[in-house]
Structure 1
Amino acid sequence: MSGSPDSNIFIPDVDIWTFLFERGSKPFSNDQVIYTCSVTGRHYTYDHVRNTASKFGCALIRRWSWQKGDVLALFTPNNIDTPAITWGCQWAGGIVSPANPAYTRAELSHHLKDSGAKAVVTHKSLLNTALEAAKDAGLPRSRVILIGDERDESEQVSHFTSLLSFADSNQARVKMNPNTDLAFLVYSSGTTGLPKGVMLTHTNIVSNLAMVATVDGVMLKSKIDKVLSVLPYYHIYGLMFLIHLPIYIGVESVTMARFEIETFCSLIQENRITYTYVAPPIVLRLAKDALVDNYDLSSLRMITSGAAPLTKELILAVYQRLGIPTKQAYGLSETSPATHVQHWESWRTAMGSVGQALPNLTVKFMDLDGKETSQGEPGEIWIKGPTVFKGYLNNPVATSEAITRDGFFQTGDIGFQDVHGNLFITDRIKELIKYKGSQVAPAELEGILSTHPKVKDIAVVGVYVDAIASEVPLGYIVPVHGVVPDEGTAREIVDWLATRVVKVKQLRGGIVWIKEIPKSASGKILRRVLKADAKNDKAMAAIKFQAPGNRQKL
Structure 2
Amino acid sequence: MPVDSKYPALPIPDTDLWGFLFERKDRPYPDDKVIYFDPYTSRSYTYAQVRDTAIEFGKGLKGLWDWQTGDVLALYTPNCIDTPAVTWGCLWAGGILSPTNPGYTADELAFQLKDSGAKALVTQMPFIKTAREAASRVGIPQDRVIIIGDERDPEHKAKHFTSIQNISKSTRWRRTKMKKPSEDLAFLVYSSGTTGHPKGVMLTHRNIVANTMMIKAAEAGNLNWKGGPTGEGDKLLAFLPFFHIYGLTCLIHQSLYSGLQLIVMPRFHLEDVCRFIQELKITFAYVAPPVVLLLSKDPVVSKYDLSSIRMMNSGAAPLTRELVEAVHNRLKIPVKQGYGLSETSPTTHTQPWSDWNKTIGSVGTLLPYQTAKYMSPEEKEVPVGEVGELWIKGPNVFKGYLNNPEGTANALTADGYFKTGDVGYQDKDGNFYITDRVKELIKYKGFQVAPAELEGYLVAHPNVNDVAVIGVFDKEQATELPRAYIVPANGLGKGEKEAKEIVEWLNKKVANHKKLRGGIRFVDEIPKSISGKILRRLLKVKAQEEENAAKSKL
So what's the TM-score if we normalise by structure 1? 0.81
Q: Could you tell me which residue of structure 1 aligns to residue 380 of structure 2?
A: 371
Q: Could you tell me which residue of structure 2 aligns to residue 76 of structure 1?
A: 77
Q: Could you tell me which residue of structure 1 aligns to residue 233 of structure 2?
A: 224
Alignment partner for residue 318 of structure 1, among 327, 341, 348? 327
Equivalence map 1:356-395=2 (5 Å):
356-395=365-404
Q: Secondary structure at the match of 1:214?
A: helix
1:305-342: CA deviation from partner (whole Å, max 9, x where unpaired):
00111011110110001100000111000001111122
The amino acid of 1:533's aligned partner reads I
Q: Could you tell me which residue of structure 1 aligns to residue 520 of structure 2?
A: 533
Q: Secondary structure at the match of 1:19?
A: helix
Q: Secondary structure at the match of 1:213?
A: helix
In 2: Cα distance, 1:98 partner to 1:272 partner: 30
In 1: Cα distance, 2:344 partner to 2:156 partner: 41
CA contact (8 A) 2:484 2:519 kept: no
Aligned length: 482
1:227-283: CA deviation from partner (whole Å, max 9, x where unpaired):
100100000000001100000000100001011111111111111111100111101
The amino acid of 1:152's aligned partner reads D
Q: Could you tell me which residue of structure 1 aligns to residue 95 of structure 2?
A: 94
CA contact (8 A) 1:78 1:256 kept: yes
CA contact (8 A) 1:196 1:393 kept: yes
Alignment partner for residue 217 of structure 2, among 214, 217, 225? 214
Q: CA deviation at 1:349?
A: 1.3
The amino acid of 2:128's aligned partner reads L
In 2: Cα distance, 1:3 partner to 1:260 partner: 40
Unpaired runs of 5+ in structure 1?
A: 434-441, 467-513
Q: Could you tell me which residue of structure 2 aligns to residue 14 of structure 1?
A: 15
The amino acid of 1:104's aligned partner reads T
1:479-503: CA deviation from partner (whole Å, max 9, x where unpaired):
xxxxxxxxxxxxxxxxxxxxxxxxx
Q: Secondary structure at the match of 2:365?
A: coil
CA contact (8 A) 1:279 1:522 kept: no
In 1: Cα distance, 2:7 partner to 2:322 partner: 35
In 2: Cα distance, 1:31 partner to 1:254 partner: 16
CA contact (8 A) 1:288 1:456 kept: no
Q: Could you tell me which residue of structure 1 aligns to residue 201 of structure 2?
A: 198
CA contact (8 A) 1:20 1:248 kept: yes
1:548 matches 2:548: yes
In 2: Cα distance, 1:547 partner to 1:287 partner: 24
In 2: Cα distance, 1:3 partner to 1:405 partner: 19
The amino acid of 2:16's aligned partner reads D
1:356-381: CA deviation from partner (whole Å, max 9, x where unpaired):
11111000001111111111111100
Q: CA deviation at 1:186?
A: 0.3
Q: Could you tell me which residue of structure 1 aligns to residue 176 of structure 2?
A: 174
Q: Could you tell me which residue of structure 1 aligns to residue 104 of structure 2?
A: 103
Unpaired runs of 5+ in structure 2?
A: 443-469, 488-502, 527-538
- Aligned residues: CA RMSD: 3.1
Do the aligned partners of residues 56 and 346 (structure 1) sit closer, same or farther apart at CA in structure 2, a change above 3 Å counting? same
CA contact (8 A) 1:186 1:333 kept: yes
Q: Percent identity?
A: 51
CA contact (8 A) 2:481 2:518 kept: no
Do the aligned partners of residues 196 and 86 (structure 1) sit closer, same or farther apart at CA in structure 2, a change above 3 Å counting? same
Q: Could you tell me which residue of structure 2 aligns to residue 493 of structure 1?
A: none
Q: Could you tell me which residue of structure 2 aligns to residue 290 of structure 1?
A: 299
Q: Could you tell me which residue of structure 2 aligns to residue 33 of structure 1?
A: 34
In 2: Cα distance, 1:133 partner to 1:546 partner: 41
Equivalence map 1:129-140=2 (5 Å):
129-140=130-141
In the TM superposition, structure 1's runs of 4+ consecutive aligned residues that sit over 6 Å from their partners are: 460-466, 537-544
Question: Which is bigger in relative contact order (C-alpha 8 A, separation at least 6)?
Answer: 2
In 2: Cα distance, 1:239 partner to 1:95 partner: 14
In 2: Cα distance, 1:3 partner to 1:261 partner: 39
In 2: Cα distance, 1:37 partner to 1:376 partner: 46
Q: Could you tell me which residue of structure 2 aligns to residue 263 of structure 1?
A: 272
In 2: Cα distance, 1:342 partner to 1:39 partner: 33
In 2: Cα distance, 1:69 partner to 1:63 partner: 16
Q: Could you tell me which residue of structure 2 aligns to residue 483 of structure 1?
A: none
